[in-house]
Amino acid sequence: MLKQQELEETYKILIVSPEVSPFAKTGGLADVAGSLPKALAMLGNDVRVVLPRYRGINNVTTIADFPVWVDWRKCTAILRQSQIRAKLDEVEKLVPVYLIDNYQYFDRDRLYGFFDEAERFSFFSRAVLEMLKVINFQPDIIHCNDWQTGPIPLLLKDQYSRDPFYAQIATLFTIHNLQYQGNFPRDCLKLLGLDDSYFRPERLEFYGDMSFMKAGLLYADVINTVSKTYAQEIQTPERGERMDGVLRSRAKDLYGIVNGINYHEFNPETDPRIYRNYGLNNLSEKKENKYELQKEMSLPVSDVPVIGIVSRLVAQKGLDLISEALDAIVASGVQLVILGTGEDYYENLLRDAQARHPDRVGVYIGFNAVLAQRIYAGSDMYLMPSLFEPCGLGQLISLRYGTIPIVRATGGLADTIKDYDPRTESGNGFTFKDYSSGQLLLALKRALDVYRQPERWLRLMQSAMRSDFSWNKSAVEYMGVYMAARSKHGMVAAATV
Ligand code: ADP
């Protein structure tokens, strides 16, 4: 997309995200918002990050406070600061991280899921724009992520752009998961200082509600999602979550860029969280990780194939297929290790499976970043039969640890995992298309056939570990999209003069 020499142009970038690793994480968005800025910094950009300061985020410096209007109320934003360290070979860069605090909105026991979400993220969205003057940072690009940041492009365009300080700032809105849209009752418009004229289908009205996601999709200069296939899928009624019409109307400005992972953090040679470090040259050590994992999960220590799953326990992740196929998976002679948290129904279903197959199924309900790494390292295969998947990180982390993904070919899974062909030995995993437990079991059977041929399996592990899903390529693609946003903004600004 972008040639290397064009990188001579660098940008001032503000990345806005409701969660950023290592400060706050519920899913893949945090990984992306924590690792993309490092890669962008390494390309020479002045990149900064902002998120809410939730309870439990410590070691921050307080740098300012300022007022933020939410409807008729003048609230206080306390601005705190921290940093992310980016390191590449001998070069080290520090990415400033701003944290917007307000005790009423963010000092709570979890990140999301409250009655006043519209109010919390109206406050946050406006506070981000107000913050820019306080820290005197005029970005070329504000890169917004997911519905919580959707109002920012709208506020910028309709309320701030007459101020020369804000006039040149272009926006990108990234969809990490279209299912979570931030749709709220009509009177929430007031929280953003918007009148009823915004309650129209061509603006924020969305099936009787107003939608934060729609604000981002309509008002950002350009939009993207986290894989090319998902970018196509969300333009169809089947996967468009009722936003497909809006997305089709912006098809020319809609890009797909697959996520990367941080190859320094996710490195089996140095990862301090796994039991035994290993790499391409001493892959036999991977086995030790398997045995220790079996012990930790109270499973018999043995050489049977271990299949790992690390996932939010929601329908999107294919839990219904897993549940349907579980007894047959177990009967095929493998052990299943599952780490996850989510809906009670699926949590109970997995606890029940463990009770029925105590020697075959190990389940840990909860969020545990250390155990997650131990599963990626200690499993032979990684199962991800998602109903839909914007990008997916689990399969990318697995590849890095030589753990072979078995995935349903949808969204980012289709873009990153190529089906193994026994004739040419090409491919880096096993894929199936139909959302059916029969298809899942067939893919598993093909994987087990190869697993039983140790030399072939070793070559497959090696080629999985050699595939490159670091940020190198995707960060350069983001630079291309930032450039597109800037030229679009220039065009739009010129057209409205
Ligand atoms: P999503 O963002 O839809 O949840 P992704 O595959 O993009 O899915 O990212 C999930 C990230 O969260 C991965 O880094 C995965 O390892 C991690 N993760 C998911 N569930 C857990 C858990 N219960 N404990 C620890 N890490 C988890």
pLDDT band of 3, cuts 50, 70, 90: very low
pLDDT digits (tens, 9 = 90+) for 293-334: 999 999 999 999 999 999 999 999 999 999 999 999 999 999
Question: What pLDDT, on the 0 to 100 scale, is given for residue 90?
Answer: 83
pLDDT in tens, 149-192: 999 999 999 999 999 999 999 999 999 999 999 999 999 999 99
Nearest residue (by CA) to ligand 1, atom 12, is 27
Segment 252-272 shows an average pLDDT of 95
Three-state DSSP state, 64: strand
The per-residue pLDDT for range 37-84, each reduced to its tens digit, is 999 999 999 999 999 999 999 999 999 999 999 999 999 999 999 999
Domain boundaries, the chain: 4-260+472-496, 280-468
Q: What is the mean pLDDT of residues 91-99?
A: 96
Specify the ligand 1 atom closest to the Cα of 177: 3
**Tens digits of per-residue pLDDT, 364-414?**
999 999 999 999 999 999 999 999 999 999 999 999 999 999 999 999 999
CATH number of this structure's domain 280-468: 3.40.50.2000
Give, for ligand 1, the residue of 312, 397, 469 to mutate: max count of ligand atoms closer than 8 Å to Cβ.
312
Pocket, ligand 1, Cβ cutoff 6 A: 27-29, 31, 310-312, 339-341, 367-369, 372, 391-394
Q: What is the mean pLDDT of the chain?
A: 96
Q: Which ligand 1 atom is the nearest neighbour of the CA of 376?
A: 16
Quote the pLDDT of residue 400. 98
Q: Do domains 4-260+472-496 and 280-468 have the same CATH topology?
A: yes
Please state the atom number of ligand 1 nearest to the C-alpha of residue 32. Answer: 7
Please state, in angstroms and as integers, the Cα–Cα distance from residue 332 to each residue in 326, 382, 402, 441, 445, following that order.
10, 15, 22, 9, 8
Q: How many CA atoms lie within 13 A of 340 on its CB side?
A: 28
pLDDT of residue 2: 41
pLDDT at site 4: 43
pLDDT band with cut points at 50, 70 and 90 for residue 89:
confident
State pLDDT tens for residues 121-143. 999 999 999 999 999 999 999 99
> How far is the centre of ligand 1, averaged over its atoms, from the C-alpha of 343 (Å)?
15
For 102-256, where are the E strands, in sequence order? 141-145, 170-175, 183-184, 205-206, 209-211, 222-225, 254-256
The DSSP code for 20 is -
pLDDT classification of 213: cutoffs 50, 70, 90: very high
Among 311, 376, 391, name the best residue to mutate to test ligand 1's pocket (greatest count of ligand atoms within 8 A of Cβ). Answer: 311
At residue 491, the pLDDT reads 76
**Where does 4-260+472-496 sit in CATH, by number?**
3.40.50.2000
d(CA 302, CA 459): 22
Atom of ligand 1 nearest to the CA of 366: 23
